[in-house]
Structure formats: structure tokens, C-alpha cells
Amino acid sequence: MSIKGTIDWTGNDYQLRQKILNAFHDFMYIRGFEMIEPSILERYELFSRSVGESSDIMQKELFFAVSKMKQNLDIVLRPEYTTSIIRTLVEHGHVHDKKIAYAGKVFRHDRPQKERYREFTQLGCEVFGDDPFIDIEVILYAVEFLKKYSHNIKVKINSLGSPGVLEKYKDIVSDFFKQHDIADENSKDISPIRLIDKMSPEEKVSYNLPKILDYISNDDKQRFNLVCNELQKLNVDFSIDPYLVRGLDYYNQTVFEIEKTDSNNAILGGGRYHGLVKRLGGQDVSGIGWSVGLERILSLMEYAPNEKIYAIVSINEHSYALKVANTLQKELSNADLKFIRTMLIFESNMKRAMKKVGNINPDKIIFCGQEEKNNESISVKDCVTQLQNEYVLKDINKIL
């Protein structure tokens, strides 16, 4: 029996998952990103220095790697990527001006529920540098990537101001909660920022909570206005959410989330961070990034990438069918046609062969019988039009 909150990827789900991973790699590559893969195993203290001891991750979501020989709790399974990316870059080179993308497994001991798993696949990026135009670039890429799968999304952004503003805002919100008796006994030890992050949009408005935008400096406001104005020029549809704070301690300046249009559940989230790289032993450089759960993308999808199946059917001419398949596969590789799959069917009886063909529902059937072998040809049936034509083998690229 599988472990609760995990997924076994099989069949079409596995194929679709791989297509998304490949599409993400290609999408980020042409935009100048370098893919890296940190270790899944990390030190506990690394995350206590980054995400904050009061975060949900540190309080209740860590998976510890414990052996029978050594029972101490100093090694964990990676709960988020930003910290691991920075640790890797600091140890293997410099961080400044890097554009990094990643895709891999993340583990959180959360209560399993719809679209929320204990083991899941996270895709994302981190860009290091302090120019506000990097914020714009990163948000644009997030929107463009999700729109490959659905236009049913909405973008929310906010500014948390320069480092230090968030700490002052925490005190202001904490006092507000006490004055209005908002926090209950169960949440008295939780950071006020964490409480805001857990509230519904309706709760935030009904309580008329203080807005962090009212406490940021003029320089911070100018920076945020620049980001908003440039996003509008790029036709990125967004709204300013004055209560958007994100759930981790390291964020400041621009933060953003992307949700389904018909819900308030974040699909993708990210933001800028100052001081985190230095805190983890690197240069004093800021960065900005985002992450999205691959499982969330699957739930968002309105359409799947097109895939075509070509069935190569051999009736007692298996050697020739292998030659045909090999020739076709080379043509597919040369043309970079990754959306076409070939499937070989070896049979001695046409009835049994066609029964197998029916099970895979191909777009085209390529027949390799004795007559085709003798003529160095193939007979190709289009399963949509039902038309069947013959081609010489050297012209097999014509069927693509």
C-alpha cells in the first residue's frame, strides 16, 4: 500500500508529467536560465536560518532522515527549494547575476488533501540581482509559463518594502489583533504575518487590517509603481492585494501569487528577498524567484499537449518492421518531433494485430508485410480520414 500523501506516476499521468517537465526545461532554457539539482537531503539548521523557526515548515512540516544507527534530527528532506539553491550556489561558486531554474521533489509533512501532497514536484526559478526590472521579468515568465496550460488564472502582487519594514508591520498587526481580540488561544504563538497569510480574503477585508503599503518608504513605493507600470505595458493582467504577505520570513519588496480565477488557492507564489544569501554564507546580494507545484499545474490544465501515436504493425515480417521503426525514429529525432510516439506490434495474425491496434488508438497505422518488404515500402493508414497510401521507405519523412 502506498504512503498517504504520495503519488505513483504511471501510464498517461507519467507521460503528461514528463511533458510538463520537458516543456519547463525548454521554456527556461531559451530565457537564459541554467538548470541545477541540489541534493534532496539538507541540514536542519539551514532552514532554521532561512524560512524562520515560527514558519509552518519548521513547526510541523519537516521530514527528518533518521537511521537506526544515528537517531539525531539534524538531516531533513528538502521542504522548499530557494534555500537549497542558494546553499548550492554558495558552495560551488558565486551567486551574483545567476539565473537558475529547477525541477524536483519536495517533502512536507502536511495533512494530505486535494492538490496538497506530502511528496510533490516543484518547478521554479531564482534570479540574483537587485534591479526592479528583474522582478518584472520573473513575474512575466511565471504568467507566460502557466498560460501554456490555462488562461483561467489571476495574478496578485504587493510590496513588503525594504528589509526592516516587515518587522515593524508585524508589531503593528500584533497590536491590532490584541486591540480587536482577533487572535484566539490556538494562534497566540503564531506570527501575525502567518495569521494574515492563513485568513480568507473576506476575513482580511472585514477586519479592515492595516495595510503594509501604508508603512513602506517613498523609494519603496516608487519601485513598486515601476514594477506595476511595466507589467501593464507588457499586458500582464494583475491586481494589487494589500494583504498579500507570503508565508516565509525571508521575503521583502515585491511578492506575488497566481491563483485560479474561480478560487483563492495559490497555484504559484514567489517574491524578492534581501539578506538571505548573506545569512546562508554568501555575498550580500538579493534575489527573486517563484515556485509552482507540478500537481497544481495538472489540476489547472484545460488542455493537454498534443500527442500522436504511430503504430507499426508487422505480420510475420518483424525484422523489416524493426528497420522501418528505426528509420522513422531517426526522422523524428532529426525533426525534433517529440510529440509523436512509435509503437511496434509483432503478430502472425492480422486479426490479433488489429485488436492490439484498437487498444492503443493510434493516429496512423504503418503496415509492414511481405509485399511492403519486397518493395522496400510501407502502407500507411490515416485513422482520422481512413485513407491508406503507400510510400517508399526512403521517403518515410513524408508521413510526418
**Nearest residue to 95 via CA among 250, 287, 312:** 287
pLDDT at 302: 64
Q: Any idea which residue has 507545484 for its cell?
A: 293
Q: Which of 88-97, 144-153, 363-372 has the lowest mean pLDDT?
A: 88-97
Residue 53 has pLDDT above 60, yes or no: no
Residue 170 has pLDDT above 90, yes or no: no
Residue 73 has pLDDT above 80, yes or no: no
More confident residue, 90 or 1: 90
- Segment 362-376 shows an average pLDDT of 94
Sign of CA dihedral 49, 51, 57, 58: positive
pLDDT interval class at 186 (50, 70, 90): very low
Instruction: Classify strands 238-240 and 153-159 as parallel, antiparallel or unpaired.
Output: parallel
Instruction: Tell me what the pLDDT averaged over the chain comes to.
Output: 87
pLDDT interval class at 185 (50, 70, 90): very low
pLDDT interval class at 59 (50, 70, 90): low
Kindly report, residue by residue over 262-302, the tens digit of the pLDDT. Answer: 887 889 999 999 988 998 888 899 999 999 999 999 888 76
- Segment 174-193 shows an average pLDDT of 70
The domain segmentation of the chain, as residue ranges, is: 11-300, 308-399
The region, left, alpha or beta by phi > 0 then psi within -120 to 50, assigned to residue 182 is alpha
Q: Which of 6-15, 17-26, 209-218, 281-290 has the lowest mean pLDDT?
A: 6-15
More confident residue, 226 or 65: 226
Domains 11-300 and 308-399 share a fold: no
Kindly report, residue by residue over 323-356, the tens digit of the pLDDT. Answer: 999 999 998 888 766 678 899 999 999 999 999 9
Residue 116 has pLDDT above 80, yes or no: no
- Segment 309-323 shows an average pLDDT of 94
- Segment 214-238 shows an average pLDDT of 96
Give bridge partners of residue 187 from the DSSP assignment. Answer: none
Contact 239, 154 (CB under 8 A): yes
Rounded percentage of the chain residues whose pLDDT exceeds 90 = 53
C-beta atoms surrounding 243 within 10 Å: 19
DSSP calls for 17-64: HHHHHHHHHHHHHTTTPEE----SEEEHHHHHHHT-TTSHIIIIIPPB
DSSP calls for 90-118: HHHS--TT-EEEEEEEEE--PPPBTTB-S
pLDDT at 274: 92
**Dist. CA 103–CA 125, nearest whole Å:** 9
**Nearest residue to 57 via CA among 5, 2, 106:** 106
**Dist. CA 119–CA 133, nearest whole Å:** 34
Which residues 6+ apart lie within 8 Å of 101 measured at CB? 24, 25, 28, 29, 33, 34, 35, 36, 123, 124, 125
Residue 3 has pLDDT above 90, yes or no: no
Which CATH architecture describes the domain 308-399? Answer: 3-Layer(aba) Sandwich (3.40)
Which CATH architecture describes the domain 11-300? Answer: 2-Layer Sandwich (3.30)
Instruction: Convert 78-113 to b/e letters by CB count within 10 Å (16 or more is b).
Output: bbbbbbbbbbbbbeeeebeebbbbbbbebbbebeee
**Dist. CA 162–CA 217, nearest whole Å:** 8
Rounded percentage of the chain residues whose pLDDT exceeds 70 = 91
**Nearest residue to 217 via CA among 164, 162, 255, 274:** 162
**Dist. CA 301–CA 204, nearest whole Å:** 30
